[in-house]
Structure 1
Amino acid sequence: MFSRWNRWGRSVRLVLILLVMSCPLLAWATPAALPAMAQAAAPAAAPAAPATGNQVPTLPNVSVGRIGDQPVSLPLQTLLLMTAITLLPSMLLVLTAFTRITIVLGLLRQALGTGQTPSNQVLLGLAMFLTALVMMPVWQKMWGAGLQPYLNNQIDFSTAWTLTTQPLRAFMLAQIRETDLMTFAGMAGDGKYAGPDAVPFPVLVASFVTSELKTAFEIGFLIFIPFVIIDLVVASVLMSMGMMMLSPMLISAPFKILLFILVDGWVLVVGTLAASFNAS
């Protein structure tokens, strides 16, 4: 037991001797290390700014047009651009030929009885390119009449808006039925308008959309007639043969597709659909 205590005592004395010997080394190293640590902890000095006297930098005020007597600044133009981009899908639906084309193509697929063939992506892609083909003359007029002079700082924003919307209004008015226009004019509390330019834009858009829907369903009805006749003939043949449990749609689908191919249906439908829009 005494030998164990002697070993512990020697260990404690050895540790104390090492601590006493290391104290002078710590005292010598600390003053030299402090400046280096302070230098490392100090933040990097900012680069000296060029001498500009008493001038204070300000943001530029860019004027790109005018609304009345007030200039259209860059932030306002950015806001208008983002708003236009947000409303672009809705504008594509209600201000162009896209509505009529998509409805007719959808009714054609139902008349063929092919389910989801062609797919929605194919029909929408075809509708978009056909819409661009139909609307290209109108867009070219809009660009040349208002947008290009406005971007060249030749006219102000109000004049550019009026000149740009005139070709679009002419196109929409060429497709509108008079009964639809009078209906929405009565809903708006207006009487007869003095001319095309006097029609308010909301009334014009609502009348255009309803007219497009009616025209699209009329074209769809004409497309359905030959395919319905094929369904009736096939159903009558199956009934006469006693095959009442066999679906007529299953038998008539190949005959519908064959008829559609023989008459070159896609070219016929797309060409007739593009020609159905009145020239503005």
Structure 2
Amino acid sequence: MIKKRWKFIFRISVLLLLIIISWQGIVEAAPAFDIPNISLDINSANNSQDLALPLQIMLLLTVLSLAPAILIMVTSFVRIAVVLSLIRRALATRRMPPNQIIIGLAIFLTIFVMAPVWGQIYDDAVQPYLNDEINQIQAYEQGIKPLRGFMFEQTREKDIALFVDLGKIERPKNQTEIPTYILIPAFVISELRIAFQIGFIIYLPFIVIDMIVASTLMSMGMMMLPPVMISLPFKILLFVLVDGWYLVIKSLIKTF
């Protein structure tokens, strides 16, 4: 066994040596080419434009790092993810469906709901900017309008008034005077309110099943048996018979 292993190692070494020799011959025979020299220097700025470019790069990296949180908070993801999580809790199936499936389904439903808004952003802001028809500021102003319109449709005036009072700004006369940093938190708490309202309605039939099972077990004197073990199959059966996922997703999408 030892001789066979050494023979194998010797053959591999010879093969590697031949590859190295042939590679050196290829490199020597290849024509010379220029290798780019990359250097990072920190020098004093001669004008405001020299200073603006590094700041833009830093701002872009900051926005990219916060992009997931921004996309979550200004889209329909909050409502969808909360409702799907409440369904799992109402069924009492613990980790079924897993978090990966819940989040993945919420992401694709969010893409479905937000597709018209993102399409309008692309047509009004991204495409003109790529064609050098507008500058960055104009692209931002054109791109934020469809998103603000979506958030205004889903946000209560009461929630907007709350953050206007907390921010101690003048009372806006119309929607255009409401800053985006006021609109986003108001939109989030409005989404949470609607999500918990939907969750309450979903919880009701499952609570009834739990009460019936618990009272039945108590009347039979089986107080040591956990009611969840008996009610769980009935919850799943009821959810399947009424085609629960179809009804929940349909009703949830129609709320937007």
Q: Shorter chain as normaliser: what TM range?
A: 0.7 to 0.9
What TM-score does the superposition give when structure 2 sets the normalisation length? Answer: 0.78
Give the Cα separation in 2 of the matches to 1:191 and 1:222.
38
More helix by share: 2
Counterpart of 2:187? 208
Query: How far has the Cα of 1:70 moved from its partner?
Result: 6.7
Query: How far has the Cα of 1:72 moved from its partner?
Result: 10
Counterpart of 2:178? 199
Give the Cα separation in 2 of the matches to 1:174 and 1:250.
43
Query: How far has the Cα of 1:159 moved from its partner?
Result: 1.1
Counterpart of 1:24? none
Query: How far has the Cα of 1:138 moved from its partner?
Result: 0.4
Unaligned runs of 5+ in 2: 1-31, 40-47
Give the Cα separation in 1 of the matches to 2:222 and 2:234.
18
Deviates more, 1:69-78 or 1:207-216: 69-78
Larger gyration radius, structure 1 or structure 2: 1
Matched, 1:117 2:125: no
Query: How far has the Cα of 1:267 moved from its partner?
Result: 1.2
What TM-score does the superposition give when structure 1 sets the normalisation length? Answer: 0.72
Matched, 1:102 2:77: no
Give the Cα separation in 2 of the matches to 1:70 and 1:161.
20
Offset from partner CA, 1:65-91 (integer Å, 9 cap, x none) = xxxx97997655543432222011111
Distance 1:72 1:217, change over 3 A: farther
Matched, 1:176 2:155: yes
Query: How far has the Cα of 1:143 moved from its partner?
Result: 0.6
**Could you tell me which amino acid in structure 2 is paired with residue 190 of structure 1?**
I
Give the Cα separation in 2 of the matches to 1:78 and 1:70.
13
Matched, 1:190 2:169: yes
Give runs of aligned pairs for residues 84-163 of structure 1, distance below 5 A: 84-163=63-142
Give the Cα separation in 2 of the matches to 1:211 and 1:114.
28
* RMSD value, Cα: 2.2
Give the Cα separation in 2 of the matches to 1:71 and 1:230.
68
Give the Cα separation in 1 of the matches to 2:197 and 2:129.
41
Amino-acid identity (%): 48
SS in 2 for 1:222: helix
Query: How far has the Cα of 1:270 moved from its partner?
Result: 1.1
Give the Cα separation in 1 of the matches to 2:112 and 2:169.
35
Distance 1:71 1:104, change over 3 A: farther
Unaligned runs of 5+ in 1: 1-46, 50-58, 60-68
Give the Cα separation in 2 of the matches to 1:171 and 1:72.
36
Counterpart of 2:202? 223
